[in-house]
Structure 1
Amino acid sequence: MARPVHPEFDKKKVVAENRRARFEYFIEETYEAGICLTGTEVKSLRFGEGSIAESYAEVKNGEVWLVNSNVPEFSHGNRFNHVPKRPRKLLLKERQIAKFTGAVERKGMTLVPLSIYFNSRGRAKVELALAKGKNAADKRTTIKERDWKREKARIMKDHG
């Protein structure tokens, strides 16, 4: 008989988050993709190091690559340590890759990583979004809506 899973292990542990992406882009769809990492990269991510703030994903030769993501060198690594800003291959199904290719080429959309996390099985995953860029007016509207929500919550708290 299998042991029940502890609730702590049923969650995902977010390592790096691209909070700016939700402000800069309209998020159309999100996908979960595996990521090819070396041993020292996994160890570095498990320590909570890593950044995807300036990164993006691109389709090359039928494969999706995460470009410009920074996973710093592992502090206890030896001479076989990894290169911090190397392109990393994302693992997706062919149908998803074909969908991404069509959306990027025809509709002018962008593949943006939203977060890197470890799932309940301990595998490193990337939350990838198919997104469309916002212009300055859209960003101002987003700021106004966010400020209004804060103000509304503050008023409700005072009178509630």
Structure 2
Amino acid sequence: MGQKIIAKNKKAFHDYFIDQTFEAGLVLRGPEVKSLRGGKVNLRDGYAQVKDGEVYLYNVHISPYSFTTYANQDPMRVRKLLLHKREIRKLIGKLHEKGIALIPLKIYFIENGKAKVELGLARGKKLYDKRASLKEKESKRDVERTMRRDR
């Protein structure tokens, strides 16, 4: 499966436990697609919510395309996500649990040129969980360093 990754939300993996992921299509306007191709997107504060049986993406900043001939759209506008009805019903059930959020993990283009967003069902980490994951990451890095030195 050939996909060109545009942006990743690395902070999400630090701040949340990701339980499950979903792939959704994005409803975009022409200049937004051009900006995405240029990599001008920020997922850091983004989240998704289910509203009236549809899923929307909030706080994702797609910079305005500089070469457009008409007025640019709002870079922080709410964007509709395309999911199957059964996936939306499943999300509604999961999001009613306490402490669960729907976070965008990455935006990418698939082979036919369509933009997709990977959403993760996330549970917030406590401070001690974040520290533990940092220690684990550092220990893995140290082990890899020693393995490279021994070769």
Q: So what's the TM-score if we normalise by structure 2?
A: 0.96
CA-to-aligned-CA distance 1:79-138 (integer Å, 9 cap, x gap)? 332210001000001111111111111243110100011011110000111111100010
- How is 1:49-64 mapped onto 2 (pairs within 5 angstroms)? 49-64=40-55
- Equivalence for 1:67: 58
Q: So what's the TM-score if we normalise by structure 1?
A: 0.91
Distance (Å, rounded) in 1 between the aligned partners of 2:86 and 2:99: 19
- Equivalence for 2:18: 27
Distance (Å, rounded) in 2 between the aligned partners of 1:79 and 1:123: 23
Q: How many residues align?
A: 151
Distance (Å, rounded) in 2 between the aligned partners of 1:111 and 1:150: 30
- Equivalence for 1:97: 88
Structure label with greater radius of gyration: 1
Please report the RMSD computed on the Cα atoms of aligned residues, expressed in angstroms: 1.1
- Equivalence for 1:7: none
3-state SS, counterpart of residue 106 of structure 1: coil
- Specify which of 105, 114, 128 is matched with residue 119 of structure 2: 128
- Structure 1 or 2: larger strand share? 2
Distance (Å, rounded) in 2 between the aligned partners of 1:66 and 1:25: 18
Distance (Å, rounded) in 1 between the aligned partners of 2:127 and 2:14: 11
Over the matched positions of the two proteins, sequence identity in percent amounts to 46
CA-to-aligned-CA distance 1:19-50 (integer Å, 9 cap, x gap)? 10011111111111000000010011111111
Structure 1: stretches of 5+ with no match in the other structure: 1-9
Distance (Å, rounded) in 1 between the aligned partners of 2:23 and 2:69: 32
Structure 2: stretches of 5+ with no match in the other structure: none
- Specify which of 71, 79, 83 is matched with residue 74 of structure 2: 83
